[in-house]
Structure formats: structure tokens, C-alpha cells
Structure 1
Amino acid sequence: MTEAGGRWNRRGMLKLTGAGAGGLLLGGGAGAAAEGAERRRYVPPSPVDTGRVEGGKVVFPEWRGPADAPSAPPPAPLSDDQRVGFAIVGLGRLSLEEILPAFAESKQAKLTALVSGTPDKLAAVARQYGVPASSCYDYAGFDRIRDDPAIQVVYVVLPNAMHREYVERAAAAGKHVLCEKPMATSSADARAMVAACDKAGVRLMIAYRIQYQPHNRRAQRFVRDGSLGRLVGMTATNVQTVAANGAEQWRHKQALAGGGSLPDIGLYCLNTARFLTGEEPVEVWATQYSPPNDPRYAEVEETVSFTLRFPSGFVANCLTSYGARDDKHQRLNFADATIDMPNAYSYTGQQLSVTRLEEGKTARTELVIPETNQFAAELDHMAGCVRENRRPHTSGEEGVQDQLLMEAIYQSARTGRPVKLDPVEGRDAFRGPPPPELQG
């Protein structure tokens, strides 16, 4: 607060005291008052600061220099009356830990109803999220959702074997359906679910969250645009451990789960390999293992290793298990580069690095890609499909195809032989249009 030479001066003191409410203008006089007024004079903001409205959204001109990454567009959430109402069916860990909190980050969806068979839990969760008692349902009274206009989409988050019943009941009630993966416990059930929704004229989406995750979508772009050369191979690992009391979980009951690690977590490896390339495999071969005399694996498998061969020659080697420490790593081997993706199938913590030759030396570059809430992205995509009458990107047909492929994987593991599959023409044969909200 001193000028060069260390002396106090009137201009410096004015800067210190003149702007504060009730501040004392030391030095006094008309000149000081005029200077204070000059500094406090209103200057209209420029268009760079105010932005403009286009299509109901506020947009700003770019304000950063070319050396910096451009700013992301400001969020443009819908008002409450425009949002699509969801009923969550099943209040287990996934619903309580991930899905319900995701509504706070959603821009197009809102929570309007809950369904549970546990009355005290239903009441507690309803209080936490402000859901009225009139919008809380048990399973016996589930069909009453037909008369609740606030419910437009039913999100089925139940044990796998229960998916078909509640998808069909939701469709019969005239509600669109978002169903957790795996879609069902058999391809026959999966086809019946698609048929029920088609008959009722409602949309059916399967919750393949990885297809809405930014790092995996960026990896898909590398595969599709060919900038790193041909995709030759992929190594996909999704493993985790199970507590000693795991046999008590529904996931370890064949009748409820339809299988062990394969439909639960191995499905991410399978579906992502298909998603990245857009191709469908023409051959699978597999092996599986379960520790003997372990009650956790009396009905379902612990470990499955499977290989997928695709028409282009691309090969995906996949490992899934309930017996190895948590690891969800994905590596893509291109002709000209390698992509490594730690935590590729996790809820958070994804990374993507590219290793290739640059200026005669091997260089590894990590791409900085902002994370998003994968569950909020799913909710918003489904809401957008309902509002705009679009086919979901991860459609019911996408779920049917995975059920067929898992059946082929189990067949190969059982027989010890490869299973050849009928070729499927074209790319993305079972998917709806790419999610427009995630393009760019």
C-alpha cells in the first residue's frame, strides 16, 4: 500500500478506503469524492460476460485463449414440470447407493415413486427423498401404478429372474421401462420382455451404463475413426471378491441370478467389446472354474475366461471372477497404439492413456476427460427418449443379444469346444441412435 520510496500517498489511501460502505475518505476534498465516484461508476457488462439465449439455453462466447481447453456449456436442466417421472422398483444397494442419489445430478428425470416389499425401508427412503406415501407401492399392489400419471418410466432394479415379470407388468400398465442388466436369465425371457413392450407401445431400455460413460465413449471413437490404426485385440478384466457369507446373497442362487460372475460383472467385458467395435462376434470359446466344496459356488460359477472373435479379425480376451481382488482394467491393442483404461467398468475413477510413437520415441499420454455420473446419464437418456419418442441407444434388442452370447459362452465352457455364431450384418445392429446429449 505504499508507492516506490515507501511514502504513503493520497491515491493509495483512497484505494484502500474509498470503496467500502461507510469507508472514510482520508485526505477529503472535492477531488477525492470525484475520484471515488469515478471508480464506482457502473460499467455495463459485455456480451462475453452476459452471454445470450439460444433455443432456450444460455450460451457464452469463448473467453479462454487458444492455449487452454474451451469451457463446457453451462448446465441446462429442465424445469420440474418438464422432467420425466421415474418409479424405482427395488430398494437394494444399487438403488440406495447409486441410482437414487443420481437424480440430484440428472437434468431431465425426477423421482416420483418407490416400490419395495420392505415397509419400514420403503417409508424411510420415501422420507429421505420426499416421496409421498401415496406414491409408495408394494409388490402386490404394483399394478396400481397404471393410475399414477406422475410415473412415466419404471426402473426395474430387482434380482435378475424377476426382471421379466416386472417389465411385463410395467408395460401392461402403460409405462416405459428401464431395466437393469443382465436383462434376464434366459434369451427366451429377454425376447418375451421385448415383445411385451412392443405390444404395449412403450420404450424398453437396458441399463448398460458403460455405453454412456465418457472414457469408454472416447475409446469407441478411437476404434471407429481409425486414427490409431486397426483394433487388433482387447484384454478385458472384471473381477472382485465375495465375503465368506456370500452364499446367502441372491447373486449366488442360480434360480434368481441365472449364473455367477459372468452375468453379473463379466457382462461388462462382453457388452463393451461389442459396443466399441459395433461388430457382433462370430465365434466364442470359454472355460470356467469354481473352487470345490465352497458353498458360495454350489450353484453358480466363480470364474469364467472367454474369447470373442469378430468378423474383422478383432479378438477380445475376457476374464471375470468372484475370486480375485477388485480389478476392472481394459486394454486395447491397435496397430499403431495401445490404450490402457484402469477402472474401465467402475462407477468412478476411469482413466484413459494412449501409448504410441511420437517423434521417434515411445510416448504415453493420459487424456483428461471429465467424469460424469453414469446413472444420471442413463436416467437422462431414457427421459429424453420418452420426451422425444426416440428408441433408446441400449435397447431391449441389445439385451437379447447379450443373453444369446452368454448362453453360447456357457455352452462352450460346458463342452470344451468353440461355439460358432451366425454372422450379423452391419454395425450397431441392436442399438438405437447414439445418445445426442453425449455427442461432440
Structure 2
Amino acid sequence: MNSRRNFLQKLAASVAAFPLLSVETLASIEQTGSLVQDGPPLRVAIMGLGSYGTRVAEAMKDCKRARLTGVVSGTPAKITSWQSKYNIPAKNCYNYENFDRIKDNPDIDAVYVITPNALHREHAIRAAKAGKHVICEKPMALNAKEGQEMVDACKKANVKLLVGYRMHFEPKTLEIVRMRKEGELGKILFFQGLSGFAIGDPGQWRLTKELAGGGALMDIGIYSINGARYMVGEEPVWVTAQETKTDPQKFKPGVDETIQFQLGFPGGAVASCLSTYSMNNLDRFFLNGSKGFAELQPATGYGPIKGRTNKGELTQPHMTHQTIQMDEMAAIIMDGKQAVVPVDGEEGLRDLKIIDAIYKAVATGKKVELKLL
């Protein structure tokens, strides 16, 4: 496959240009999914054919182990368009009314839920009851209660529940995780996560509490919540938070514009994070330890991610995040492969517990204790 060959050529060029790249660094690149083992493909139906669903579909053209074989949409015109564009047979196309019939379709192994947050629980549970593995966009649900119901439903149906944490397979991110694990940064002391952008159309579902479950925290803010956990390498034990709202017309009650939150970890590290829908140029992770530091900026955009540590620039080559993600998830589902940073339902549930606690801290003005383990 051309994309695979191009990647290997880039990797070889990177090694030649940067001879100080460690074996561990190259191993972390190999763990991204671009070099997954050969095996049966994961046949995926995408549910929700909006802009991100389209991005995933385009990325899957270059996948080695994942294949787009079905669609689910409430818009007939989108189904017709996708049928033609991605060569999807009519028997693999569903709407939200007849979706449960997917249980009788052997051409589909998994359903990727890319619908508004408020619909994740229903759609994931229906897919599980139909005997299909579930991949769900983040945040996994509106709250921890819904998330637990999704985890339980998938366990009962004996199917996998994975969450679309694409950064868990990103090479520069994995290199920092490796450095932290191996003690190269020393004792971890501090993490900063800045996640935000100025949101546009005030009529979009992301600004509707009933569909989004909140505001920026239920969208872009999940990156700093999740990033704090995998960068520090521990689960937080407390959270404090403060909300700022400058435009109550655009950001109605229950839809947060900007939230600052702080997390405390059992080893003594603290995290200071910002989630906002009103400021651009905010996509930065900074991890500080007693022996060194690591920085990503941009940290979570579609790429290329850029980063540096106290040892110099991170030089791992860029690959489309969703391509890596889907190949890796195929290996997890089909081969039982373990992700370097988990992407299962339990991982998604922990983030939801933190989100619940952040909103509680905002409402009460008090420190909220966390019990994630």
C-alpha cells in the first residue's frame, strides 16, 4: 500500500537525519498502528455522517486493518452520497429506525458512533445489543452514570467498547509517555493543558445543552482532562474549578464558555488546565519533571503535532491520526492487542467522572474528591 511504503520511507529518512533517535523511540512509532500485524480486517459502520465522520472515512482509505463497510444516518441524501463515494452496498446502509437489523449483517463487525454526545449512550447500547463492537467518540457519554451503563451493556453483550482517543496512538505523544515511564523526566511535578478555540455558528448542536451536555468542557476540554492523566501517569484524587462566561447570549445556562480546572495527583503533581470556546491559539501541553520537561504545541490538533523536550525537538513522522487509530483499534478488537495508553470504556468512564466532578466544583466552589480506581 502506497501510504505504508511512504511512511516507511519517511521513517528511514528520519533515522538517517536524526541518528540520536533511540530504539525505544522507534518502538513507540511502531506501536502507533502503522506497522500492525497482518490479519483479518475490522469491518466498520460509521454512525453519524457529519464532518468528523467524513474525516474518519477518508482516513480509513489508507488503513491496513480497518475497512468502511456500512453507514447509519438519518439523512437519506448523505447515505446515497456515501454509497457512491465509498462503494457501500445498499444492504449495509441503515437509518436510526431500522438500525437494530444490523445484528443480522455479517459484513459489519463494529459500529463507530459519531453522533452528538446526548445520543452516544443509546446508540452504543443498541449496537452492543446487536452484537457489534462499539467505538464511540469522546466524551463517551453525558455523565458517568450513562458511561457506566454503556460499559455494562457491552460487557453483557460480550463486545468491546473503545473510545476515539486518537492521541493515544500519536507518535510524539507516545514518545513523551515513554520518557516519563522510563524516568527520563524524573519525578513528575506539574502539567499544564490548554484546550480551546473560538466557536462559530451559535445554532450548532455543540452549543445546545440537550445535545452536548454542556459546552467547551464536553468537547475540546476532554483533551486536557485525558491528557493530564496519561502525561502525569497517575489518576487525579481531587479537582477544583472556576467558570467564566462573557457572552450569556451565545452560551446559554448549562453551556460553559470557559472553565479553568486544577487536578491533584497522589504523587504530589498538580495540573492546571483551561477549556474554552472563546479563545483561539490554545492547544498546548506542558509536562515538567525534576529532571526535564516535555512540550507539545500543537498538542491535539489533527496535525502535524509539534513537540520538544529538554533533550531537543521531537522528530517522529506525522501520520493521519484517524488512520493510525482505526488500524490500532482493529488490532485491539481482532487480535487482543493492548494499547500503550488505554482506549477502552473504563478509560472513557474515568474522564466522565472527572467531568462530573469539575461541574460540581464549579457549582459549589469547593474542592471535590475523586475516586477513579
TM-score (norm 1): 0.75
1:162-173 to 2 correspondences below 5 Å: 162-173=119-130
User: CA-to-partner distance for each residue in 1:216-262, whole Å, 9 max, x for gaps?
Assistant: 1111112111112211101110110012x32x111111111111111
The structure 2 residue matched to 1:395, chosen from 344, 355, 361, is: 344
Q: Does 1:369 align with 2:327?
A: no
* CA displacement 1:9-65 (0-9 Å, x = unmatched): xxxxxxxxxxxxxxxxxxxxxxxxxxxxxxxxxxxxxxxxxxxxxxxxx9xxx9998
Structure 1 stretches of 4+ with a deviation exceeding 3 A read 62-73, 75-79, 296-299, 389-392
Any conservation in 1 of the 2:258–2:278 contact (CA below 8 Å)? Answer: yes
The one-letter code sitting in structure 2 at the alignment partner of 1:144 is R
Give 1:83's aligned residue: 41
> Quick one: higher RCO (CA 8 Å, sep 6+), 1 or 2?
2
Secondary structure in structure 2 of the residue aligned to 1:329: strand
1:322 to 254, 277, 282: 277
Aligned to 1:343: 298
Q: Say whether the 8 Å CA contact 2:191–2:231 is kept in structure 1.
A: no
Question: Quick one: structure 1 residues 104 and 186, their matched pair in 2 at CA, closer, same or farther if it must change by over 3 Å?
Answer: same
Structure 2 partner of 1:16: none
The one-letter code of the counterpart of 1:343 is: P
**Aligned match of 1:278:** 233
Q: 1:293 to 1:283 in 2, by over 3 A?
A: closer
CA deviation profile, 1:315-354 (whole Å, cap 9, x unmatched) = 1100010000132011111212222210101110211112
What is the 5 A alignment of 1:178-327? 178-243=135-200, 245-246=201-202, 248-327=203-282
What is the number of residues matched between the two proteins? 352
- Which residue type is aligned with residue 109 of structure 1? A
- The one-letter code matched in structure 2 to 1:418 is K
- Structure 1 residues 115 and 280, CA, compared in 2 at 3 Å: closer, same or farther? same
SS of the aligned residue for 1:178 comes to: strand
Structure 2 CA distance for aligned equivalents of residues 338 and 133 of structure 1? 52
- Alpha carbons of structure 1 residues 242 and 292: separation in structure 2 relative to 1, 3 Å: closer
Q: Does 1:176 align with 2:133?
A: yes
Would you say the 8 A contact 2:217–2:259 is kept in 1?
yes
| Residue 423 of structure 1, CA deviation | 6.7
Preserved contact between residue 193 and residue 285 of structure 2 (Cα < 8 Å): yes
> What amino acid does structure 2 have at the position aligned with 1:384?
A
Q: CA deviation at 1:391?
A: 6.6
1:93 is aligned to 2:93: no
Shift of 1:390: 5.2
Where in structure 2 are there 5+ consecutive unaligned residues? Answer: 1-7
Structure 2 residue matching 1:306: 3-state secondary structure? strand
Gaps of 5+ in 1: 1-57, 357-364, 425-440
Q: Quote the Cα distance in structure 2 between the aligned partners of 1:107 and 1:221.
A: 25
Relative distance call for 1:104 and 1:77 in structure 2 (3 A) is: farther
Alignment partners' CA distance in 2, 1:155 and 1:375: 12
1:413/1:168 Cα in 2 relative to 1: closer, same or farther (>3 Å)?
A: same
Mapped partners of 2:16, 2:207: distance in 1: 55
Equivalent residues of 1:241, 1:326 under 8 A apart: no
Q: Distance in 2 between matches of 1:273 and 1:202?
A: 28
**2:310 is equivalent to residue 355 of structure 1:** yes
SS in structure 2 at match of 1:297: coil
Residue 212 of structure 1: CA displacement? Answer: 1.2
Deviations 1:245-302 (A, max 9, x none): 32x1111111111111112011110111111233111110000122244233344010
2:372 & 2:97 partners in 1: Cα distance? 43
Cα displacement (A) at 1:213: 1.1
CA distance in 2, matches of 1:229, 1:76: 30
Q: Percent identity?
A: 36
Structure 1: distance between partners of 2:98 and 2:252: 35
C-alpha distance in 2 between matches for 1:421 and 1:340: 27
Q: 1:199 Cα shift?
A: 0.6
Larger mean Cα displacement after TM superposition, 177-186 or 375-384: 375-384
Q: Could you tell me which residue of structure 1 aligns to residue 5 of structure 2?
A: none
Q: Which residue of 2 aligns with 1:132?
A: 89
Give the 3 Å change call, closer, same or farther, for CA 226–192 of structure 1 in structure 2: same
1:226 match: secondary structure: coil
CA distance in 1 between partners of 2:18 and 2:119 (Å): 53
CA deviation profile, 1:363-408 (whole Å, cap 9, x unmatched): xx21211112211222112211222245763111111111111111
Distance (whole Å) between structure 2 residues aligned to residue 404 and residue 107 of structure 1: 35
CA distance in 1, matches of 2:265, 2:16: 44
Say what the alpha-carbon RMSD is for the aligned residues: 2.5
Counterpart of 2:53 in structure 1: which amino acid? Answer: S
Using the TM superposition, name which of 256-265 and 295-304 deviates more: 295-304
SS in 2 for 1:295: coil
Residue identity in the other structure for 2:356:
E
Q: How far off is 1:178 after superposition?
A: 0.5
SS at match of 1:411: helix
Which letter does structure 2 place at the counterpart of 1:93?
S
Q: 1:417 to 1:114 in 2, by over 3 A?
A: same
Distance 1:291 1:299 in 2: 14
In structure 1, what is the Cα distance between the partners aligned to 2:136 and 2:100? Answer: 17
1:109/1:134 Cα in 2 relative to 1: closer, same or farther (>3 Å)?
same
Q: What is the CA–CA distance in structure 2 between the aligned matches of 1:264 and 1:242, rounded to whole Å?
A: 11
